[in-house]
Amino acid sequence: MSAALETVHERIGKGYEAGFVTDVESDTLAPGLDESVVRRISQKKNEPQWMLDYRLKAFRAWLAMTEPTWAHVSYPAIDFQAVSYYSAPKPKKKLTSLDEVDPEILKTYSRLGIPLHEQKLLQNVAIDAVFDSVSVVTTFKEKLAEAGVIFCSFSEAVKEHPDLVQKYLGSVVPHTDNYYAALNAAVFSDGSFVYIPKNTRCPMELSTYFRINAKGTGQFERTLIVAEDGAYVSYLEGCTAPQRDENQLHAAVVELVAMDSAEIKYSTVQNWYPGDANGKGGVYNFVTKRGLCKGRRSKISWTQVETGSAITWKYPSCILQGDESVGEFYSVALTNNRQQADTGTKMIHIGKDTRSTIVSKGISAGHGRQTYRGAVKILKSATNARNHTQCDSLLIGSHAVADTVPYIEVKNASAVLEHEATTSKISDDQLFYCQSRGLDPENAVSLIVNGFCREVFRELPMEFAVEAQKLLEISLEGAIG
Amino acid sequence: MTTTPLLEISDLQVAVGDQGETPILKGLTLTVNAGEVHAIMGPNGSGKSTLAHVLAGRPGYTVTGGSAHFMGQDLLAMDAHERAHAGVFLAFQYPVEIPGVQNRYFLRAAMNAHRKAKGLPELDAVQFLKALKEKTAMVKMDPELTKREVNHGFSGGEKKRNEILQMALLEPKLALLDETDSGLDIDALKAVSDGVNALRSPDRAMVVVTHYQRLLDHIVPDVIHVLMDGRIVKTGGRDLALVLERQGYDFLREPVAA
Amino acid sequence: MQEPMTDAGWGLRMAAAARFEALGWPTTKLESWHWFSTRALEDLDLSTPPETRNVPLPDLPSPRVVFIDGRFAPHLLSLGENTDALHVRALSDYDDETLASVVSRLTQDTADGALEQANLAFLTGGVHIVARGTSNPTLHIVHLTTNAGVVHARTVIELERHSSLAVMDHHIGLAEPDARYLHNLVTEVHVGPGAQLSYAKQISESASGSHIESLIARLDRDSRFSSFSLSLAAERARTAIIVQLAGPGAECSVDGLYLGEGKSQLDHTTEVRHLVPHTTSSETWAGVLDGRSTGTFQGVIKIAPHAIKSATRQLTRTLLLSEGAQANAKPELHIDCDDVTATHGASIGQLDPLQQFYLESRGIPRDDARRMLVAAFVRQVLALAPATLMPILKALVEARLGGEARVEDDDANGESP
């Protein structure tokens, strides 16, 4: 290894910035999961009968399923009975403005740099903050209400818009879909609900932050976004988790539905606690995210920047059902220390003249292991389908590992698909060239990595792009070790 | 004495798009006789290239009305290769690259396909090479280019020259030259024009599609038509080109006094 | 094998039979068999080779060793001037002790390779080739199948230090169109230090013939292995090729072309393992699928943790010519080392309509134009075949593509370009 790289390697561990705990009274259920727990969750949330019925149906289905083990990740078995399934801080009343939020919680978010502050309101982002399973506050409701946009917590939607929730819940990810989806459908606590009416462009970017706080709690978020004909919405999801010794479980479900000519842009910047340098104490992240391009000319884009989580298992997918629908997936994933990620996307082409684009950039450092697992399926009905896939891996350090496993299945002969993948490393020559132009090693690496990720960062909403770049830099400083 | 026009287009309407939803030609009428050289000029989007493509039978266009007859036959009812056999030749604006197919092999296949359609015996190796040598010299093309893959790795000028070589070998009755000058410097332009001029004959007609007047200094037309918004709005002699050069196309947009 | 067996022989075969029994036929639940089902073959009696029919033989190249329905045909053997440089023996010539020392040094006991165990258990016949010198003629191994049944054939090729050899393996079906047979082949290749092997194979089975094979090669330092696989006909064929780059400086090129028609299923599954530093691999595959055929390409590249300066590239292109054709592809990379270069690409599509129109606009009728474009597509991968074997491969492809398609450039006056 060159001297330049060695210098870089020496600068280890800025440490996980967001690692701390908040002292707030939590209303936490004892660990364990059985039917009574499911009932209690529903009861605590004052849910109508149909919601409880749905949960119970899902729970019973979950009992009959077995945990999947095929991913290239290895982890000690999760004891589902040792996890608590509900934790809410105890607010006394329903909150409608920031002034009413428990200052401790505000401080937590402030330390995280998460914009639950007046400042942010000026920047036109509506926040629905989730704090350990319950939406803490939702701002900007009036402005959205004017446009006819519904943006509220899932719990609220169940009460205020039951017809909409019932119509779409489980329509994209049925509770029978997979093990974690079933679990989520049974014990989900909260999340976001977004509804954009016909021909409405949501006037602001919608954003949710959530955080797993209490020890041993799994977090089970449920998000549902529906865009009617001609609607547009850009939704941002960002997450952090504190430093804990035990691994924490996260099994979320996100469902997106786009009707004729509607567009949903879903961006995620994820900064879960990655486990310490020895892989102890991170977050298990099992997520099912799926978008249904139901209408003609509909479009769903997934953009994500992942830098954390001890184990990641997620495949944001698009089902291209409507004719001329478009699915996109842009991702930067960084694994470091002993993180493992088995991630990728699925594009299923069903309608005619559909198009999908996949750009996946993986940066693997330390002893990180990354697997890109993508599937592109062109069904028999999908005439004139088009796909372009680019998956690139950047390896930093001699212990990093990257796997690329794409599945391509074409059952309609008019399809055209192009797939490319490259694997490379930052070479001594590249570093030297940058330094000879005056950049220090850290900046040089930053520059090169940013160039590597450029295509993906370009897709992020402005709000997130800057944050994502900074996040990557911070993670990289620790990563080059 | 009247002879059947070589090409007779009547109120031709053509659209593009999957369902033919975007009209490009909105009623074009044109007659071309053997021995004539017609130029078609017009601003971008006027439909110049569309006309050439539709006459040659390129996929992607829908004829929504009107007709086109070539030597009395319904041209639009014929397949692309049948039109070629009948004597129509399109010199592409962007000649297509076909990696993996040797240029001279392609040229020989094309010539023999034409001969077969006419009931003539195919050329043997010796005959073909002789013809190739003769025509390559005629259009002043580097013979080495015939050994390379079709248009692959050719410069812009070489690609255009290759089109003219094909024209020389296939001896069409109607040559449609689609923006033959685009992308060429003055020397290449002159060389290509010389090749075209060498192929002028009383039995042959040419339709030269161009955006710029300068090509017409080298390939001097008998008639110039101006195409705008899918129709021919003006027809004139050579001088029309100079007028357009000086005044641009806008002056033709004003309503013409009765 | 017809000879009475010694204890050693029984041991070898019984162990293999027991292993196959335990593993069973590979199912579509195994990742690498996901797109290839053996269900339709499972009723075949693995222990019964075909009963040879009297059929006219095709022209046979020379030098050659020939097997009819899996059995060595000594009367068709033609080795020319066999010198010390090339040692060719039918496996049936060996006693069992020797046999045990020659085979299965490379095969692995995995569920994926269950049929390799069956191959050893029910071995019908095979050949052992050892090359010593550098001036060896191309050796042809010809397998002819004339009837229904199951053939288990094994080829073991060893190249000693600094030797070189070209081998072409032919699998030709001469059976009736409805005669169901399975040709189960295992080829083990050892390429010694500095040695070079050019290997090509053609698969032209009968209409109801199935072909399943494993080729496993181990390359020593500074050796070269190039493999070209031409799959022209079979009801179903699966070719698995595993190359271990086990010595620094080793290079391999694993290429192939498959032409599917009717309801043919052609599956190519490769794995290249870069085990040590400074090795190079390249893969280029092209498939042309017509009728209702299905083509599958699974290419795994594995780079071990300390295999620095490995360089690998892989390209697969599939052309779908007809409405019912289907394609699957899974180009995988497993990279455990950072100081490497690895790229792969896969594309699936149709003939370019603009290229087709260009040819038609010059008077070339549609069918001929399509044939020319298919030939152009094909020749780019065919150009990678070992030079000495090129002419015979080209002839086979041209015969199959039919019409005026010419795969080779030809200067009209006969000179090569």
Looking at this predicted complex, what is its ipTM? 0.82
Across chain C, what does the average pLDDT equal? Answer: 90
Q: Which chains touch A (3 or more CB pairs under 8 A)?
A: C
More confident residue, A241 or B221: B221
At C351, list the tokens. Answer: 């003939």
More confident residue, A1 or A448: A448
Cβ within 8 Å of residue B242, ≥6 positions away: B213
Please report the pLDDT score of residue A286 as a whole number: 79
Beta bridge partners of A261: none
At B256, list the tokens. Answer: 């013409």
> Is pLDDT of A363 > 60?
yes
Please report the pLDDT score of residue B87 as a whole number: 93
CATH class of B7-252: alpha beta
User: How near does any CA of chain A get to the CA of C25, in Å?
Assistant: 21
How far is CA A288 from each of CA A179, A181, A265, A448, C102, rounded to the nearest angstrom?
10, 7, 17, 32, 52
- Which of A107-116, A359-368, B16-25 shows the lowest mean pLDDT across its residues? A107-116
Picking from C45, C49, C54, C53, the residue whose alpha carbon sits closest to that of residue C92 is: C49
Number of separate domains in chain A: 1
Cβ–Cβ gap C365/B108 under 8 Å: no
Mean pLDDT of C246-255: 96
Across chain B, what does the average pLDDT equal? Answer: 88
Q: Cβ(C17)–Cβ(C115) under 8 Å?
A: no
A55 part of a folded domain? yes
How far is CA C285 from each of CA A421, B66, C215, C243, rounded to the nearest angstrom?
16, 48, 16, 16
Please report the pLDDT score of residue A451 as a whole number: 78
Picking from B5, B3, B13, the residue whose alpha carbon sits closest to that of residue B67 is: B13
Mean pLDDT of C155-170: 95
* pLDDT tens for each residue of A4-45: 333 333 332 333 334 344 444 455 666 677 888 889 888 888
Mean pLDDT of B150-179: 91
More confident residue, A84 or C392: C392
The amino acid sitting at C266 is L
Please report the pLDDT score of residue B58 as a whole number: 86
User: How near does any CA of chain C get to the CA of A479, in Å?
Assistant: 14
What is the rounded distance in angstroms from the CA atom of residue C391 to the CA atom of residue C387?
Answer: 8
Residue carrying structure tokens 């959205």: A144
Q: Residue A294 CB: number of other CB atoms within 10 A?
A: 23
Residue carrying structure tokens 């199948």: C145
H or E element: which one contains B25?
strand B22-32
What is the rounded distance in angstroms from the CA atom of residue C229 to the CA atom of residue C241?
Answer: 10
Percent of chain C at pLDDT > 70 equals 94
Q: Cβ(B27)–Cβ(B11) under 8 Å?
A: yes
The amino acid sitting at A175 is H
Cβ–Cβ gap C348/A408 under 8 Å: yes
The amino acid sitting at B182 is S
Mean pLDDT of C225-234: 96
What is the rounded distance in angstroms from the CA atom of residue A364 to the CA atom of residue A371?
Answer: 10
Nearest to C338 among A397, A414, A417 (CB): A397
Looking at the complex, does the CB of residue A63 fall below 8 Å from at least one CB of chain C? no
Looking at the complex, does the CB of residue C345 fall below 8 Å from at least one CB of chain B? no
Contacts of C414 in chain B (CB under 8 A): 125
* pLDDT tens for each residue of A123-173: 444 555 554 444 544 556 677 888 899 988 888 899 999 999 999 999 999
Mean pLDDT of B13-33: 89
Mean pLDDT of A70-78: 55
Please report the pLDDT score of residue B133 as a whole number: 94
Mean pLDDT of C1-24: 73
> Is pLDDT of A469 > 60?
yes
Q: Cβ(B40)–Cβ(B215) under 8 Å?
A: no
Please report the pLDDT score of residue B95 as a whole number: 87
- The SS3 assignment for C73 reads coil
pLDDT band for A244, please (50, 70, 90 cuts): very low
> Is pLDDT of A309 > 60?
no
Cβ within 8 Å of residue A23, ≥6 positions away: A104
Contacts of C354 in chain B (CB under 8 A): 96
Residue carrying structure tokens 């977050």: A283
Mean pLDDT of C377-400: 88
A307 part of a folded domain? yes
Beta bridge partners of C413: none
Please report the pLDDT score of residue A320 as a whole number: 98
Provide the domain limits for residue A364.
24-426
Residue carrying structure tokens 């026009």: B5
* pLDDT tens for each residue of B51-91: 999 999 888 899 999 999 999 999 999 988 889 989 999 99
A450 part of a folded domain? no
DSSP C127: E
Please report the pLDDT score of residue A10 as a whole number: 36
> Is pLDDT of A93 > 90?
no
What is the rounded distance in angstroms from the CA atom of residue A327 to the CA atom of residue A319?
Answer: 8
Cβ within 8 Å of residue C236, ≥6 positions away: C36, C40, C210, C211, C264, C265, C266, C267
> Is pLDDT of A470 > 80?
no
Mean pLDDT of B212-235: 92
DSSP output for C135-152: --PPEEEEEEE-SSEEEE
Picking from B134, B76, B70, B146, the residue whose alpha carbon sits closest to that of residue B106 is: B146
How far is CA A160 from each of CA A96, A127, A257, B82, rounded to the nearest angstrom?
16, 19, 20, 68
* pLDDT tens for each residue of B81-111: 889 989 999 998 888 887 777 888 888 888 8
Across chain A, what does the average pLDDT equal? Answer: 76
Contacts of C343 in chain A (CB under 8 A): 420-423
What is the rounded distance in angstroms from the CA atom of residue C333 to the CA atom of residue C23?
Answer: 27
Cβ within 8 Å of residue C310, ≥6 positions away: C245, C274, C277, C278, C279, C280, C281, C303, C337, C340, C341, C342
> Is pLDDT of C5 > 60?
no
- The SS3 assignment for C282 reads strand
What is the rounded distance in angstroms from the CA atom of residue C403 to the CA atom of residue C411?
Answer: 19
Please report the pLDDT score of residue A30 as a whole number: 63
At A438, list the tokens. Answer: 């005056």
- Which of A157-166, A316-325, A358-367, A373-382 shows the lowest mean pLDDT across its residues? A358-367
H or E element: which one contains C314?
strand C311-320
DSSP C305: T
Contacts of C353 in chain B (CB under 8 A): 59
H or E element: which one contains B207?
strand B205-209
> Is pLDDT of A337 > 90?
no
Q: Cβ(A400)–Cβ(C338) under 8 Å?
A: yes
Nearest to C361 among B84, B101, B108 (CB): B84
What is the rounded distance in angstroms from the CA atom of residue B222 to the CA atom of residue B238?
Answer: 7
- The answer to whether the Cα torsion of A159, A162, A166, A167 is positive or negative is negative
pLDDT band for A69, please (50, 70, 90 cuts): low
What is the C-alpha R_g of chain B? 18
Cβ–Cβ gap C362/B170 under 8 Å: yes
What is the rounded distance in angstroms from the CA atom of residue A355 to the CA atom of residue A449?
Answer: 28
Mean pLDDT of A78-88: 64
User: How near does any CA of chain C get to the CA of B242, in Å?
Assistant: 33
At B204, list the tokens. Answer: 């042959």
Most B CBs within 10 Å, among C288, C360, C397, to test the B interface: C360
Please report the pLDDT score of residue A17 as a whole number: 39
Please report the pLDDT score of residue A280 as a whole number: 57
* pLDDT tens for each residue of A436-463: 666 667 777 777 787 788 888 888 877 6
Contacts of B59 in chain C (CB under 8 A): 353, 357
Q: Inter-axis angle of helices A462-479 and A441-457, to 10 degrees?
A: 140
What is the distance, to the nearest Å, from the Cα of residue C208 to the centroid of all Cα atoms in its chain?
19
What is the rounded distance in angstroms from the CA atom of residue A300 to the CA atom of residue C386?
Answer: 48
pLDDT band for A335, please (50, 70, 90 cuts): confident
Q: Residue A453 CB: number of other CB atoms within 10 A?
A: 24
Percent of chain A at pLDDT > 90 equals 33
More confident residue, C82 or C316: C316
> Is pLDDT of C265 > 60?
yes
Cβ within 8 Å of residue B124, ≥6 positions away: none
What is the rounded distance in angstroms from the CA atom of residue A109 to the CA atom of residue A128?
Answer: 12
The amino acid sitting at C294 is T
Mean pLDDT of C374-378: 91
> Is pLDDT of C124 > 70?
yes
What is the C-alpha R_g of chain A? 22
Nearest to C342 among A406, A415, A422 (CB): A422
pLDDT band for A275, please (50, 70, 90 cuts): low
Mean pLDDT of C288-303: 96
How many residue pairs from chains B and C have C-beta atoms closer than 8 A? 92
HEC readout, chain A: CCHHHHHHHHCCCCCCCCCCCCCCCEEECCCCCCHHHHHHHHHHCCCCHHHHHHHHHHHHHHHCCCCCCCCCCCCCCCCHHHCECCEEECCCCCCCCHHHCCHHHHHHHHHCCCCCCHHHHHCCEEEEEEECCEEEEECCHHHHHHHCCEEEEHHHHHHHCHHHHHHHCCCCCCCCCCHHHHHHHHHCCECEEEEECCCCECCCEEEEEEECCCCCECECEEEEEEECCCCEEEEEEEEECCCCCCCEEEEEEEEEEECCCCEEEEEEEEECCCCCCCCCCCEEEEEEEEEEECCCCCEEEEEEEECCCCEEEECCEEEECCCCCEEEEEEEEEECCCCEEEECCEEEECCCCCEEEEEEEEEEECCCEEEEEEEEEECCCCCCCEEEEEEEEEEECCCCEEEEEEEEEECCCCCEEEEEEEEEECCHHHHHHHHHCCCCHHHHHHHHHHHHHHHHHCCCCHHHHHHHHHHHHHHHHHHCC
Picking from A331, A329, A343, A322, the residue whose alpha carbon sits closest to that of residue A385 is: A322
How far is CA A141 from each of CA A123, A127, A156, A196, A416, rounded to the nearest angstrom?
15, 10, 13, 13, 45
H or E element: which one contains B161?
helix B156-170
What is the rounded distance in angstroms from the CA atom of residue A207 to the CA atom of residue C208?
Answer: 61
More confident residue, C99 or C136: C99
